[in-house]
Amino acid sequence: MNPERFEEIVAEEFPNAIPERFRAALQNVAFVVEGEPSEELRRAHGLAEGETLLGHYQGLPITARGDLYGVGDAVLPDCIIIFQHPTEDEAFCLCEDFGENPNDEAAFESRVRQVVRETLWHEVAHHFGMDEGEVEKREGERGKE
């Protein structure tokens, strides 16, 4: 999938991934698409060979901000990065897991959209102060709905 189409999918899936009440509360957050996580980021997450990230939240969670956050000083936006190539790899595997042909463009794009939605939700949850354990617990609860 070309990078422009992937970026379109991320933008299109954002409102499907994040409920309106949370979208309205997002402030000073940039959403970025990159091909792969950097080696520095991989090391910071302690990833082994063959492990990767689908997304990454970089910033100060809302729950850690004091009353004077951003007052008087310009604050760089928090950043949520969605990694295209690992997302596509995951979508390919999901297609195979569900007996779909990953070479079928519609099936593949549907699975890319699924992975993007889940990743956006995961990273936005970090922005709202959830640690990895809380995010994983909530993801499990969301899967039961």
- 34-52, pLDDT tens digit by residue? 999 999 999 999 999 889 9
Strand partners, 33: 82
Whole-model pTM above 0.85?
Answer: yes
The token pair at 14 is 């954002």
The domain that holds 45 is classified in CATH as 3.30.2010.20
Structural domain that includes position 82: 3-68+75-144
Q: In this model, does residue 118 exceed pLDDT 90? A: yes
Decide: 92 and 108 in contact? Cβ < 8 Å: yes
Decide: 11 and 27 in contact? Cβ < 8 Å: no
90 contact partners, CB below 8 Å, separation of at least 6? 54, 111, 115
Decide: 10 and 82 in contact? Cβ < 8 Å: yes
Instruction: Report the SS3 class of residue 32.
Output: strand
The token pair at 31 is 């959403």
Q: What is the mean pLDDT of residues 102-119?
A: 96
C-alpha pair distances (Å), 18 with each of 11, 47, 48, 82: 12, 27, 30, 15
| pLDDT for position 144 | 47
Where is pLDDT greater, at 7 or 129?
Answer: 7
Domain count, the chain: 1
What is the percentage of the chain residues whose pLDDT exceeds 90? Answer: 66
Where is pLDDT greater, at 108 or 135?
Answer: 108
For 42-89, the pLDDT digits (tens) are 999 999 988 999 999 998 888 877 777 767 777 788 999 999 999 999
Decide: 80 and 31 in contact? Cβ < 8 Å: yes
Confidence of residue 143 (pLDDT cuts 50, 70, 90): low
Query: How far is it, in rounded angstroms, from Cα 14 to Cα 9?
Result: 8
The per-residue pLDDT of the chain, averaged, comes to 90
